[in-house]
Amino acid sequence: ALVRRVVFITGAVDMTTLPPADRGEAAFIGRSNVGKSSLINMATNRKSLAYTSKTPGKTQQFNFFAVNDKPGREKEVKYGDIVEGERDADSFYLVDLPGFGFAKAPEAQRKAWASFMGEYLANRKTLKVVFHLIDSRHGPIDEDSNIMKQVKENLPKNVAYVIVLTKADKNVKGNSKKNPGKVSEKVMDDLKQAMAESGVSYAPILITSAESKLGRDSMWRYLRLAAES
Ligand code: GDP
């Protein structure tokens, strides 16, 4: 199996509190309620893993989950203090970046968060793929255009950037394995326009559903970039 174990490692609040850059990393960005936890759980075959990120105090952190670590390491990890050989060869980090549910937060706090995000995208050497989640029923909102611009400005060109449309089963009546989900032309048009305006038209678009598991294999094509680095 690609995913044998997953453990929560730490919540980072700035560049100095990130765990050591010692393995590949896959980041997930999207506003709260977009279906981020459900999608991470679907991709890793877990039931409630990513919901850890929702516990009070963790909602505004970059939450790091280690995939395929050796058992017990989560108790030992300290910043900058990793002993070689503690993890499996295909270990990688899943990083759950905060949504925008705290748009009402003080201006200074929002600025600090945006600058952390910019620095992280620009300077995290082990970052291999960024998944940007957008609700397939509504298409991109202003916050999504801001993320696209952040990506365009900061993310190195050799890091994959993937748009993920979520909850596609909700657009189909009586969805099933045979008919697992779809996205309206209007949402697709809006999305392509927002991508063009932000200069990220190169990004692939995946259509997914945590409910029907639509898009799981396509997600793994990109997760592999982190797992196999
Ligand atoms: P997050 O805040 O982005 O982590 O979003 P959650 O994963 O908690 O999902 C928010 C809500 O949407 C929850 O009620 C989920 O059950 C629901 N949801 C998430 N993904 C899907 C999906 O693929 N299909 C359907 N039908 N509902 C979903």
Specify the ligand 1 atom closest to the Cα of 38. 7
The pTM of this model reads 0.92
- What lines the ligand 1 site, CB under 6 Å? 30, 32-38, 166-167, 169-170, 209-211
Please classify residue 161 by burial: count the beta carbons closer than 10 Å to its beta carbon, then call 0-12 exposed, 13-18 middle and 19+ buried. Answer: buried
Ligand 1 pocket test, candidate residues 28, 37, 38, 208, most atoms within 8 A of CB = 38
- Atom 6 in ligand 1: which residue has the minimum CA distance? 35
With respect to residue 111, please indicate whether it lies within any of the assigned structural domains. Answer: yes
Q: At 154, give phi and psi (nearest 5°).
A: -110, -30
| CA 32 / ligand 1 centre spacing (Å) | 10
CATH number of 144's domain: 3.40.50.300
Question: Tens digit of pLDDT for each residue in 102-134?
Answer: 556 788 888 888 899 999 999 999 999 999 999
Question: Tens digit of pLDDT for each residue in 164-222?
Answer: 999 999 998 887 778 888 899 999 999 999 999 999 999 999 999 999 999 999 999 99
Specify the ligand 1 atom closest to the Cα of 53. 4
Question: Tens digit of pLDDT for each residue in 5-55?
Answer: 888 888 999 999 999 998 999 999 998 889 999 999 999 888 777 676 677
With respect to residue 1, please indicate whether it lies within any of the assigned structural domains. Answer: no
| CA 8 / ligand 1 centre spacing (Å) | 20
What does the alpha-carbon distance between residue 182 and residue 31 come to, in Å, rounded to a whole number? 21
Nearest Cα neighbor of 191 from 141, 127, 125, 119 is 141
| CA 225 / ligand 1 centre spacing (Å) | 25
With respect to residue 30, please indicate whether it lies within any of the assigned structural domains. Answer: yes
- The tokens of 128 are what? 């291999």
- Structural domain boundaries enclosing 45: 6-227
CB count in 10 Å sphere of residue 52? 16
ipTM of the complex: 0.99
Structural domain total, the chain: 1
With respect to residue 28, please indicate whether it lies within any of the assigned structural domains. Answer: yes
